[in-house]
Structure 1
């Protein structure tokens, strides 16, 4: 368990602060993460990597000469927001374009793609590589759906070395894609991990058993078995990885980088015992091990587990893999580095947002927007543990925590905006940005999009009315469905948002007031959330374990139904009663 922390909600920020304070030779703090504190070659490609915190050395430990130029750092087990990725990319850009690298998780794909679009709109050549090395997360025929785990290191290292060598953007992307195609990983876990402030792990493994194919966020594995001996574990890992050799290659005579990765609680000595047998098995298969890596490279807090990665080399990939690098958690050879000057070290710091002018009618309505967000905060706080329990059935169990982080940040931003005289639309827009930034993950991205859509529809020039709110909710539905690609029936929050929006619009067009229309639509939302119990998930981390969630409603759908009912209570002037999950699911 995580024992040393202050406020759990401040853990990620305080961790980053301490990391920068202790590694200033390599990194500087920028809004959204860290960037190199040393000079990079002008007009070269910049590699910006990232993901949720809680996986050190990934991702901040890989920033330095010969490796990444910056790392966007999300909250615990939550992808960084699009704004965080954008901020780090702007700070790291050398003038030759930016390559974004991340593990293939829904939240990361959403946020990094949004950041990529924003950078491209500014004329910056921006590309992406989503690492897909985990063979347990999808079959070979659907390799594009696989998640990224310790194979992140191989892709990032060779792409960064190519950028350092002056390769063009097209060539750097080509190297990254080739490395991804030649990287395979497989992992196991013996115990779950416990986030700061939690009194139980995100998941558990029965005593004496081992979860096979476990993900680094606590995603359930593909099965369980008795805990093997070290040699038996090595044989399992090598056997499964050699069953899927990259196209066009054969084991005999191949040169491969093996990476035996500890997930947090397995000691180095244990890893060496396992690697002893891994090395024997690779040699027996005719494979030459090149530069083996044994240690903690992508962790999961205190999870007890390990993964094996095989990176199948060619001459160019081998040269790039062995190229010098100097980062806090990965050093090889000698590099020359020159520190940035004082002014450059402070570039990318956070700045207070500008409050645009607003009409008195809109300013007068702004406190009601804050009250609605406050109601959402209260209902999330009251149900955070149950939302996490529902999410853990087939996912990673962090939905409640993520929602809590997001709504707390949204309320704080909204309260500051109201105090500074913002109109209703700006209050929601700033709340949206704060929710996405602090929550991260898929739900952070989607709730940020939803609040912003409603905020932009309301605007700051007039007092919000039912038609504007309904139009904003409809736009939120359209944006989320277009961007996230989810449809009704996929067992996501869309299963609540779509019927809620349709009911709200119909009631408003029928002449109902906002309070009346919202109340009727909230009932539809609750019914729709309950109905997701009968669905199998077709999107996100729960998809590979769909059957486990049958009979349990979707956590994102439930949280949305809770929030819209809490907002209705605020509109109706009824804020006394608490709403629980049991009333919606």
Structure 2
């Protein structure tokens, strides 16, 4: 378990501060993560990686010469926000284009895609290669759905070495795609991990058993078995990987492979070397030539006891990049050339932190005050229910929903108070809250609440007093935005199962002439009933999907938190009911 921490909600931030202090000759901190503290070649491609914290050396530990130019670092097991990715990418940009690369997880895909769209809108040639190396997480036919685990390193390393060699952005992208296509990994776990402040592990494995194919957040894999000997484990891992050869390789004999035997947190180096002894012999027996094997911790999961094996099938170009030198806080190979440190005048964030607030009309500012009261009520209900939301989420997910909602709601309330104090209209206030929520919460829920609040804000504006029809239209736009962005449908056991009946009920009531306060209350009840009913559903998407059967009897955490929020807002409207009955 994690024993050393202060405030669990600040753990990731304090960890990054200490990491940078210990490695300032290689990395410097920027909003959202870290970038190199050494100069890169002007006009060259920059490789930006990222993901949730809790997996060190991934991701900040892989920033430095010969490897990544920057890493967006989210909260524990939560994707970095779009703002974090954008900030790190902007600071890392050398003028030759940006390649974003990360493991294939829903929150990461949502946030990195948003950041890419923003960068492209500013004229930056920004491209993405998502890592999908874990063979246990999907079949060959659906390998695009596979998650990224320790094979992240091979893709990051190949892309970054190509950038260092002066490749164009198109060729860096090509190399990264090829590296991903030629990387296969599989992992096993003996125990779960415990996050800072938690009393129990995030997930468990029965005593004396081993989960084959378990993911780095506790996602289930193929099956469970008794824990074998070190040789038995090597034989299992090698046989699983050799059973699936990359396209274009018909026979393993005569091929070259890079190898990563990765410890996931609690398995010690001495144990890894015992396993690798047999692994090396098996690969040799299969006719393979091993190139520069890596044995150690490259992608971890806090104190999870587990091991993963990665095979990186090389051609001449990929072998050159796999062997290329690198010098980062956690990964060193060969000898890199001398590089100048950036001076203090260059070490600053290029992204402004204070948004400009244009005051709204008197009518809209009055509405903003109501919106602020609603956000304060949202924060209050989330604070009360954060532990329960985490418990619900842990049944079939990674247990971070309560903490993520708490971080998001706190940030939204701070931003909303500031906007209100500066005379903002309701649209500006909600946009400020949306951006703060998405940025601070990270993860899938952070992205979705950012989308939802922005969609509502756009319908309300900063000029007129919002009408019931405008609020209903805003909620409808939020629903559309959520479904378009997250791709979920009713029945998938997500927040959509609550927001759709809420939006439909509100639209029906308002169209019938029911005042907003009463219409909202009726819609909130519909959302609550729908959220409760998700207990009978099996998840069909997201990180909970592989845990489908475990989630029966438990409502979806996102749907439940949505219902809590709209009920809290209903209470705010009711408190103002006498004055705003006809709005």
Determine if contact 1:203/1:397 at 8 Å carries over to the other structure. no
- Mapped to 2, the partners of 1:240 and 1:219 lie a distance apart of 18
- Mapped to 1, the partners of 2:572 and 2:260 lie a distance apart of 54
Determine if contact 1:220/1:396 at 8 Å carries over to the other structure. no
- Mapped to 1, the partners of 2:47 and 2:127 lie a distance apart of 10
Q: Do structure 1's residue 175 and structure 2's residue 172 form an aligned pair?
A: no
Residues 218-257 of structure 1 aligned to structure 2 (within 5 Å)? 218-249=218-249, 250-257=251-258
Determine if contact 2:35/2:70 at 8 Å carries over to the other structure. yes
- Mapped to 2, the partners of 1:13 and 1:348 lie a distance apart of 19
Determine if contact 1:218/1:396 at 8 Å carries over to the other structure. yes
Q: Please name the residue that 1:286 is paired with.
A: 287
Structure 1 residues not aligned, in runs of 5+: 576-585
Shift of 1:489: 1.8
Residues 140-155 of structure 1 aligned to structure 2 (within 5 Å)? 140-155=140-155
Determine if contact 1:220/1:394 at 8 Å carries over to the other structure. no
Shift of 1:416: 2.4
Q: Do structure 1's residue 274 and structure 2's residue 280 form an aligned pair?
A: no
Paired residue secondary structure (2:47): strand
Q: Please name the residue that 1:392 is paired with.
A: 394
Q: Please name the residue that 2:137 is paired with.
A: 137
Shift of 1:349: 6.0
- Mapped to 2, the partners of 1:386 and 1:94 lie a distance apart of 45
Q: Please name the residue that 1:342 is paired with.
A: 344
- Mapped to 2, the partners of 1:401 and 1:355 lie a distance apart of 29
Residues 77-156 of structure 1 aligned to structure 2 (within 5 Å)? 77-156=77-156
Shift of 1:248: 2.1
Paired residue secondary structure (2:133): coil
Paired residue secondary structure (2:345): helix
Q: Please name the residue that 2:438 is paired with.
A: 436
Mean CA deviation greater in 405-414 or 93-102: 405-414
Determine if contact 1:399/1:556 at 8 Å carries over to the other structure. yes
- Mapped to 1, the partners of 2:99 and 2:32 lie a distance apart of 17
- Mapped to 1, the partners of 2:9 and 2:396 lie a distance apart of 25
Shift of 1:574: 9.8
Residues 41-56 of structure 1 aligned to structure 2 (within 5 Å)? 41-56=41-56
Q: Which runs of 4+ in 1 moved over 4 A?
A: none
- Mapped to 1, the partners of 2:228 and 2:424 lie a distance apart of 61
Q: Please name the residue that 1:583 is paired with.
A: none
Determine if contact 2:219/2:546 at 8 Å carries over to the other structure. no
Determine if contact 1:88/1:348 at 8 Å carries over to the other structure. no
Mean CA deviation greater in 348-357 or 144-153: 348-357
Q: Please name the residue that 2:24 is paired with.
A: 24
Q: Please name the residue that 2:453 is paired with.
A: 451
- Mapped to 2, the partners of 1:528 and 1:132 lie a distance apart of 34
Q: Please name the residue that 1:299 is paired with.
A: 300
Shift of 1:146: 0.4
Mean CA deviation greater in 523-532 or 362-371: 362-371
Q: What are the Cα deviations for residues 179-222 of structure 1, in whole angstroms up to 9, with x where unaligned? A: 00010111111111111111111111222222221111222333
Q: Please name the residue that 1:382 is paired with.
A: 384
- Mapped to 2, the partners of 1:228 and 1:419 lie a distance apart of 63
Q: Please name the residue that 2:216 is paired with.
A: 216
Q: What are the Cα deviations for residues 293-314 of structure 1, in whole angstroms up to 9, with x where unaligned? A: 0111111111111111111111
Shift of 1:21: 1.4
Residues 458-473 of structure 1 aligned to structure 2 (within 5 Å)? 458-473=460-475
Q: Please name the residue that 1:572 is paired with.
A: 574
Structure 2 residues not aligned, in runs of 5+: 578-583
Mean CA deviation greater in 228-237 or 344-353: 344-353
Shift of 1:30: 1.0
Q: Do structure 1's residue 524 and structure 2's residue 526 form an aligned pair?
A: yes
Q: Please name the residue that 2:369 is paired with.
A: 367
Q: Please name the residue that 2:68 is paired with.
A: 68
Determine if contact 1:31/1:350 at 8 Å carries over to the other structure. no
RMSD over aligned Cα atoms: 1.6
TM-score by length of 1: 0.96
Matched residues, number: 575
Shift of 1:350: 5.2
- Mapped to 1, the partners of 2:272 and 2:184 lie a distance apart of 19
Determine if contact 1:28/1:36 at 8 Å carries over to the other structure. yes
- Mapped to 2, the partners of 1:569 and 1:204 lie a distance apart of 40
Determine if contact 2:87/2:351 at 8 Å carries over to the other structure. no
